[in-house]
Amino acid sequence: VSQRDQQGAPREERGQPRPFEPFPVLSSERIYDSPWCGLRRDWLDLGDSGDEPQEYHVFEIGDAVSVLPLLEDGSILLIGQYRHPTGQTRWELPAGRIGEGEAPELAARRELLEETGHAAARLLPLPGFYPTGGISAHYAHCFCAVGCVREAELSLEPSERIIVQTFRADDVAAMLAAGDIVDAFALIPLLYYLHFGARLLEADAEGA
């Protein structure tokens, strides 16, 4: 029996590739530790493919959430946020680190409230992602926040500079097409919603 079905790629490969055997870690060196981030250097045994142990830097940072807030009329909230590493202010989604022991859904509701002053009727899970999988296991959980309503003022850290703005979905689509949105934590949920959002909201309406 062939492993290929009649639809193209082999069935098992459409989901995930057959996993490679991990490289054994010979030793691991702490370079930096802080409450915000860590950095380590692992030495890998490459086996047959390398004679010498290979150094591999791994950046450590807590997992995060990103939230796409929808109002009842289908419009989308974006935040204009200043980012020190680039010195730029760009349109993004509310996002941030998950607290110690905090569930991703709670972190999503907290960030939504802090950074936009809004609360959601329901959170729908969106696919998550690894922003920099080549150098970090840092993972982002994503949610679509449905039925958002204004509940409070923004509650920002002293280093956060944020404004909130409501956009028509069509305007967000035009901004995505033009490449105006450049932050991965905004791009991935927004592009996913742009293409699959109708399906997502339909499933939500059937379940609600």
Q: Which of residues 149-178 bind its own copies (CB under 8 A)?
A: 158-159, 161, 163, 165-168, 170-171, 174-178
Q: Cα dist. 30→53, 112, 121, 134 in Å?
A: 17, 34, 43, 18
Virtual torsion, Cα 74, 79, 80, 83, nearest 10 deg: -140
Choose between 86 and 121: whose C-beta lies nearer to its own copies: 86
Residues in the chain: 208
**Minimum separation from the CB atom of position 134 to its own copies (A):** 6
Q: Does 20 bind its own copies (CB under 8 A)?
A: yes
Residues contacting residue 188 through CB under 8 Å, at least 6 positions apart: 66, 127, 129, 140, 142
**Minimum separation from the CB atom of position 126 to its own copies (A):** 8
Among 57, 122, 202, 203, binds its own copies (CB under 8 A): 57
Q: Does 4 bind its own copies (CB under 8 A)?
A: no
Among 137, 149, 152, 208, binds its own copies (CB under 8 A): 137
> Which range in 98-106, 108-116, 124-132, 144-152 contacts its own copies by CB under 8 A?
124-132
Tell me, residue by residue from 76 to 105, as one string, x for binding to its own copies by CB under 8 A and - for no binding: ----x-xxxxxxxxxxx--x----------
Q: Which helix (H) or strand (E) holds 30?
A: strand 25-32
Choose between 20 and 100: whose C-beta lies nearer to its own copies: 20
Token readout for 15 is 């989901």
Residue 57 CA to residue 72 CA, distance in Å, equals: 45
